[in-house]
Amino acid sequence: EVQLVESGGGLIQPGGSLRLSCAASGFTVSSNYMSWVRQAPGKGLEWVSVIYSGGSTYYADSVKGRFTISRDNSKNTLYLQMNSLRAEDTAVYYCARATITMIVSWGQGTLVTVSS
């Protein structure tokens, strides 16, 4: 059974950093197209970042230069390093197993709150 379990969310001050983790089971992270998608409170979904099986990475313009997606193949875990956080980054962050055309599996999400 495919499972994605996010962790690392919490309350952080503006300008701070946070690293989200997504532990995967039931499949191999490095062989898949993995993504982070976020949802601000009461708002819609926003694709934040993806990492291809080959290692290429892409980011939404809103986070480019501040967020970094990566993976640890030995731990079968996906990460999102978030730096220079802003109030508008406040959201539930979902880890997702995807193809280039759809999101197949979602984690339960982890809430990031950026506030002083």
Partner 1 sequence: QSALTQPRSVSGSPGQSVTISCTGTSSDVGGYNYVSWYQQHPGKAPKLMIYDVSKRPSGVPDRFSGSKSGNTASLTISGLQAEDEADYYCCSYAGSYTLGVFGGGTKLTVL
Task: Write down the residue that tokens 């501040």 correspond to.
Answer: 66
Nearest residue (CB) to partner 1, 74 versus 101: 101
Smallest distance from partner 1 to CB 69, Å: 11
Smallest distance from partner 1 to CB 85, Å: 20
Evaluate the CA torsion angle 44, 107, 50, 38 in order and state its sign.
Answer: positive
Which tokens in the block code for residue 76? 């079968």
Residues that bind partner 1 (CB under 8 A): 44-50, 56, 58-60, 94, 100-104, 106-109
Reference 38, options 113, 90, 87; nearest CA is 90
Nearest residue (CB) to partner 1, 79 versus 94: 94
Measured between alpha carbons, how far is 83 from 22 in angstroms, rounded to an integer? 18
Three-state secondary-structure class, residue 31: helix
Nearest residue (CB) to partner 1, 5 versus 30: 5
Smallest distance from partner 1 to CB 63, Å: 11
